[in-house]
Structure 1
Amino acid sequence: MLARERHKLILELLKKDGTVRTADLVETMSVSSETVRKDLDFLEQAGQLERVHGGAVPVPKKLVAEPMEEYVSLAARNTQHMGEKSRIVHHAAGLIREKQVVALDYGSTSFLMAKELARRFRSLTVITNSVQNALALVKCPDFTIILVGGILNKEELSLGNDFSAMLDGLHIDVLFMSVSGVHPTVGLTDQGFSEARVQNQMRQLASRTVVLADSGKFGKASLVKICALREISTIVTDSGLDPAMEEAVRETGVELIVVPGE
């Protein structure tokens, strides 16, 4: 039985019986107890169940990680949830000061942040792997723009690869990061392998990492895990966040800023 078949069966049994026992799964699937433990660990990391002594139980309904919908192009995302995203970036821009070193990753919310920085600040150093972010800042005469090079993702207008050598020795005051999914158990996830690698490299260089995520991103899990919530400083979101999800995120220890609606 393939791993994905075992995972499907475990979740079906969990839904049917309300609990699963390691010993029963060993017998049902004719695999070793070590294989079952690995399967349960994988499903727990994916936010699909909660490990307990001797087996697993369902996670609270609101905390089950929902799979991402089909890929939505950057051009389309640049027109979605504009009110929420605009309020998020307006508040988040107040977390930095003139002449700081700021990093922006790729994505529609980061693009709005780039335009917000261009409007509100006179002098910043901005590190980014997004072509559209760089273009939004290019007319700011006292901005220093560092565009991290690499292979161009034509859909996302982003550059991704392993840039540890290029970034080595740099210090970032604040990294603003957009993601595809935010989940208290799974952590932060995104859709691109190389972009997630750059996000992690910049995160490790930053004194503070601020995630910009509208409330629709919460409870979702995408393909590539970036990091756990405890590994970042702050999440800024809008007032549409579900109260149960808000409580679960706060319990991880990350600072959560909920920006009021209009």
Structure 2
Amino acid sequence: MEPGRLTKKERHELILSEVRRSASIRISKLARRIGVAGETIRRDLIELGEAGLINRTYGGATISLMTSEPVIAERGLTMVEERARIGRGAAGLIENGRIVMIDGGSTTYEVARSFSQLRRDLTIITNSVGIASVAGANPSFRVILCPGTYDHREASVLGEDTVEFVRRYNADVAIIGASAVNAEGPSDMVSGAAAVKRAMMARALSTMLVVTNDKFGRNSLERVCALSEISDVVTDSEPQAELCAAIEGAGVDLHVFAGT
């Protein structure tokens, strides 16, 4: 496709790719690179800035570091269908009778909800009160809720007690979410949550990362792990080409459950 004929979505992906590569970039350079008018780029930057993906500067843009995130109750109100697709898709990848560690999060909650509806005889180990509750609705499940310090933002327990408790168990798979995902791997804005994710990963034979497409190409406060430490990524739409290549290069299986 010719640069000037790119769709808005394709322009946005190209802009984000250019900004990530250069850390900051001028409107005039983006306009020349993409082959559109400067005013078009300016409107694109406004939209990307409002979405929190970049920081707009005078005459250009810099990459946005994701340092804050809505509380879990608010996150659960967005991308509802996308999270539901991820939940159903992830549940289809897990066999009955498995031991599953699941960390707290709005997307991991949807996975647990689908588990409760579609799977049998799972052992669920979680630090999330909501996940424990929805998983516990399935009478064939054994649900183990971690101790720790309650974080109302995440509706989960965190801290040293949580990490130590997780280390007592073995699991077939750890299912984790993330605040952001880029070629370096997933990252999270809450350090305590990142520590729990790593503890779960260390005790599991495999790790499944479940994320909605709005987390792609972004960065948050604390890196959780490298992409190569993930076994599967489950999402609702194809990542940008750069991230796709990184996922493939890391030997990760990508599962995309797109809408119809």
User: What TM-score results when the alignment is normalised by the length of structure 1?
Assistant: 0.72
| Partner residue in 1 for 2:171 | 172
CA distance in 2, matches of 1:222, 1:237: 18
Cα distance in 1 for partners of 2:167, 2:252 equals: 27
Q: Which residue in 1 is equivalent to 2:105?
A: 107
Larger radius of gyration, structure 1 or 2?
A: 1
Please give the secondary structure, in 2, of the residue aligned with 1:249.
helix
Paired with 1:150 and 1:241, the residues of 2 have a C-alpha distance of: 35
Shift, 1:74, TM fit: 0.9
Structure 1 segments, 4+ long, off by >3 Å, are: none
Is 1:254 equivalent to 2:252 in the alignment? yes
Task: Name the structure 1 match of 2:49.
Answer: none
Specify the SS of the correspondent of 1:79.
coil
Amino acid at match of 2:197: Q
State the shift of 1:164 in Å: 4.6
8 Å Cα contact 1:65-1:183 kept in structure 2 = no
Query: Residue type of the partner of 1:248?
Result: A
**Inter-partner Cα distance in structure 2 for 1:157 and 1:257:** 27
1:21 is aligned to: none
2:130 counterpart (117, 129, 132): 132
Partner of 2:156: 158
Identity %: 32
**1:215: which partner in 2?**
213
Find the aligned partners of 2:135 and 2:163 in 1 and give their Cα distance.
Answer: 24
Corresponding position of 2:14? none
Q: Which residue of 1 aligns with 2:115?
A: 117
Cα 1:65–1:200 shift into 2, 3 Å: farther
1:36 counterpart residue number? none
Deviation readout 1:123-170 (Å, 9 max, x if unpaired): 110000001111112222221111111000012111111245423342
Counterpart of 2:233? Answer: 235
Q: Kindly tell me the number of residue pairs found equivalent between the two proteins.
A: 204
Uncovered stretches (5+) of structure 1, i.e. residues with no partner: 1-10, 17-63
Structure 2: state its 5+ residue gaps.
Answer: 1-21, 27-61
Letter in 2 for 1:227: C
How much does 1:188 deviate?
1.0
Question: Which residue of 1 is the match for residue 224 of structure 2?
Answer: 226
Contact 2:176 2:197 in 1 (8 A): yes
Shift of 1:213: 0.7
User: Structure 2 matches for 1:1-262, cutoff 5 A?
Assistant: 66-68=64-66, 70-162=68-160, 163-185=162-184, 187-262=185-260
* Distance in structure 2 (CA, Å) of the matches to 1:84 and 1:165: 33
How far apart are the structure 1 equivalents of 2:167 and 2:104?
20
Kindly provide the CA deviation profile for residues 157-209 of structure 1, in whole angstroms up to 9, marking residues without a partner as x.
11111245423342111111111011112x11011111111110000111110
2:84 match: secondary structure: helix
Identify the residue that residue 45 of structure 2 maps to in structure 1: none
Q: Secondary structure at the match of 2:235?
A: strand
Equivalent-residue separation in structure 1 for 2:132 and 2:193 (angstroms):
16
- Aligned-residue Cα RMSD (Å) equals 2.2
